[in-house]
Structure 1
Amino acid sequence: MINLKAWGRALQQMQKLSPDEWQALDPISKWLIACRAPVLFMTFTAAALGGLLAWRDAVFHWGPWLATAAGLMLAHATNNLLNDYTDSRRGIDKNNYYRNQYAVQVLEDGLMTLRQFWLYTGITGGSAVLLGAWLVSQQGGLTLELMLAGMFFALFYTWPLKYFGLGEPAVLLVWGPLMVGGSYYVLAGSWSWELTWVSIVFALGPTTVLFGKHTDKLAADADKGVNTLPVIIGESASRITVLAMICAQYLLCGYLVLSTDFGWPLLLVFANLGHLPRLIRTFLKPKPDFAPPYYPAGVWPLWFSAHSFNHTRRFTTLFLIGVIADTLLQSI
């Protein structure tokens, strides 16, 4: 039976469920939970930004954009499912590993059989491929190459990229030039350096969230032989790297206003500066051993990633409002 409230919960936050609670869910709710739906908003936002930039240049078309947005979200969902399968098969998620402490891992928790898992994954990945194939047939140009690049990262992010310090650079590339730039290219058939810089401003957000997550679980990853970039460079350097990326977002917005066709509305992101002192203080200190009394229930052991996520949500909202406002002003 369809349960819209369960869909809403699955879209809003990661969940821990008992087998009985899982069995009571409808198939859509199970799919949303299994593919970690709360993080898919970052992919939708990337496609939305690419579409907005196309609208700004009067080359927006609903059909290709909807197919692109849906295809990207399904590809991201497929990657999340494959991530769970790979980490389960390689023994990473066994014995209450980091992920199992705050969210469902459908294979490790015994909530899905392999047959059920591959049915969900096949439908999700197959739908993404079909949408991509349709876009290739309609748009041409570099659309096929962009699709193949997306498939490469979806299939190989978890292994070997994440295991050799390449996962974080991959996320910067995927959520920036590939997703934002690719969404624009499919609609416009062209590319520009201005587009590249805008896409990087956006992509730095998801990258800080991932970097924060990998910093949170640095010790657990090191014990399992997962050599993420934070494992390689150490916790202190990782915390400073996240702060540097956050600062780069603001500096790049200033650059776009001073050196490109974007105007002052992009400076709306600086309204978020009031939150930075607390964020900086958080990242200048190691992660606490236990959740502070005020910390929201269900979030721990996420710490740096949670703070990065909150900043990214606020910054991205202001950034998109700035791009929309600037686009409207230029159309007057």
Structure 2
Amino acid sequence: MTFTAAALGGLLAWRAGAFQWDLWLATVLGLMFAHATNNLLNDYTDSRRGIDKDNYYRNQYGVHVLEDGLMSESQFWRYVGVTAGLALVLGGWLIYQRSGLTLDLMLAGAFFVLFYTWPLKYYGMGEPAVLLVWGPLMVGGSYYVLAGSWSWDVTWLSLVFALGPTTVLFGKHTDKLEADRSKGVNTLPVILGEAASRYSVLAMIAAQYLLCLALVWSGSFSWPLLLVLVSLPVLPQLFSVYGKPKPAEPPADYPSGVWPLWFSAFAFQHTRRFTSLFLLGVIVDTVLA
């Protein structure tokens, strides 16, 4: 996901005639090491707060280096030192090369790396943070580092991409709403309630299509962006799933190993399809341009 965001920013910079391999590679690696640092700090924070202890949901979508005993705490902090150190070195080099907003973008990224799990996720700010980070911050920031200027067209396009992972996260937090509430993790779905959360995901999915239509209508991008409309036939099933509460038990034909994830699984399925078509559309549009 992080690589794709940086690749999208790089593609748009190439489209603008401002691509530089050294700056792009440093940006990609810096973002990926920063993301790795964030994942590790997420594990540490939720482990120490008891959130991930015996957490069935957590083990459905990844291993947990501390709870699963894959490394000691001293090994863990050495690992964090490596990933964070590399991210800082690469970020420092980019600031030296480009200056301007690059320092501000790096400081904003560092804020989300350090504080996403706590306090942001605990107070309903985790989901908006994901939208901001994987949209304007990563895609728009990657473009800025390469082109040396901010683009609002890129910013709006980045939101189409970022809404995808945000719907998956929103779905996941809706799936485990009661589990989070019982442990005092007030994600946005916990605050909104299940029904409002389900409708929020549908609104975000609709926004992805509407943003693509608006970007083509405004002339910022051309018709290949409308390839996303090929995904429209899957929407009735998606709306049917999100139009009802989560079932108490998985249907008989539900894939094994996925339950208790429900809303997030359907959101992921749509995001994978939509994002593939979206990226293809951007590539074709860029080649034609």
TM-score, with length taken from structure 1: 0.85
Question: By how many angstroms is 1:208 displaced?
Answer: 0.5
Question: By how many angstroms is 1:98 displaced?
Answer: 2.7
Task: Say whether the 8 Å CA contact 2:65–2:71 is kept in structure 1.
Answer: yes
Task: Say whether the 8 Å CA contact 1:176–1:203 is kept in structure 2.
Answer: yes
Q: Secondary structure at the match of 2:254?
A: coil
Alpha-carbon spacing, 1:326–1:101, altered in 2? closer, same or farther (3 Å): closer
Q: Do structure 1's residue 258 and structure 2's residue 223 form an aligned pair?
A: no
Distance 2:151 2:60 in 1: 43
Q: Do structure 1's residue 71 and structure 2's residue 30 form an aligned pair?
A: yes
What is the match of residue 91 of structure 2? 132
Distance 2:60 2:280 in 1: 35
Distance 1:153 1:291 in 2: 35
TM-score, with length taken from structure 2: 0.97
Question: By how many angstroms is 1:101 displaced?
Answer: 5.1
One-letter amino acid of the counterpart of residue 206, structure 1? P
Q: How does 1:122-201 map to 2 (within 5 A)?
A: 122-201=81-160
Question: By how many angstroms is 1:293 displaced?
Answer: 2.6
Distance 2:22 2:252 in 1: 49
Higher deviation after alignment, 296-305 or 279-288: 296-305
Task: Say whether the 8 Å CA contact 1:54–1:188 is kept in structure 2.
Answer: yes
CA RMSD in angstroms, aligned pairs only:
1.2
Task: Say whether the 8 Å CA contact 1:194–1:260 is kept in structure 2.
Answer: no
Partner of residue 227 from structure 1, selected from 186, 190, 203: 186
Q: Secondary structure at the match of 2:199?
A: helix
Task: Say whether the 8 Å CA contact 1:76–1:154 is kept in structure 2.
Answer: yes
- Figure out how many residues of one structure are paired with residues of the other and give that number: 289
Question: By how many angstroms is 1:274 displaced?
Answer: 1.1
Q: How does 1:29-178 map to 2 (within 5 A)?
A: 42-100=1-59, 103-178=62-137
Question: By how many angstroms is 1:103 displaced?
Answer: 3.6
Task: Say whether the 8 Å CA contact 1:102–1:300 is kept in structure 2.
Answer: no
Instruction: Give the number of the structure with larger relative contact order, counting CA–CA contacts within 8 Å between residues 6 or more apart.
Output: 2
* Structure 2 unmatched runs, 5+: none
* Structure 1 unmatched runs, 5+: 1-41
Distance 2:155 2:42 in 1: 28
One-letter amino acid of the counterpart of residue 112, structure 1? M
Q: Secondary structure at the match of 1:287?
A: coil
Alpha-carbon spacing, 1:97–1:174, altered in 2? closer, same or farther (3 Å): same
Q: Secondary structure at the match of 1:163?
A: coil
Percent pairwise identity: 74
Q: Secondary structure at the match of 1:59?
A: coil
One-letter amino acid of the counterpart of residue 201, structure 1? V
Question: By how many angstroms is 1:71 displaced?
Answer: 1.1
Distance 1:297 1:73 in 2: 31
Instruction: Write out per-residue CA displacement over residues 273-306 of structure 1, whole angstroms, 9 at most, x where no aligned residue.
Output: 1111111111111112222232223222211111
One-letter amino acid of the counterpart of residue 193, structure 2? G
Question: By how many angstroms is 1:102 displaced?
Answer: 5.2
One-letter amino acid of the counterpart of residue 167, structure 2? T
What is the match of residue 271 of structure 1? 230
Question: By how many angstroms is 1:97 displaced?
Answer: 5.0
Distance 1:78 1:84 in 2: 10
Distance 1:180 1:196 in 2: 7
Q: Secondary structure at the match of 1:292?
A: coil
Question: By how many angstroms is 1:63 displaced?
Answer: 0.9
Distance 1:216 1:170 in 2: 19
Instruction: Write out per-residue CA displacement over residues 197-230 of structure 1, whole angstroms, 9 at most, x where no aligned residue.
Output: 1011111111101101110110000000000000
Task: Say whether the 8 Å CA contact 2:60–2:258 is kept in structure 1.
Answer: no
What is the match of residue 35 of structure 1? none
What is the match of residue 242 of structure 1? 201
Distance 2:264 2:81 in 1: 30
One-letter amino acid of the counterpart of residue 238, structure 2? L
Question: By how many angstroms is 1:138 displaced?
Answer: 1.1
Q: Secondary structure at the match of 1:158?
A: helix
Instruction: Write out per-residue CA displacement over residues 90-139 of structure 1, whole angstroms, 9 at most, x where no aligned residue.
Output: 11112335313554222122222101111222111111111111111111
Higher deviation after alignment, 278-287 or 223-232: 278-287
Task: Say whether the 8 Å CA contact 1:102–1:301 is kept in structure 2.
Answer: no
What is the match of residue 309 of structure 1? 268
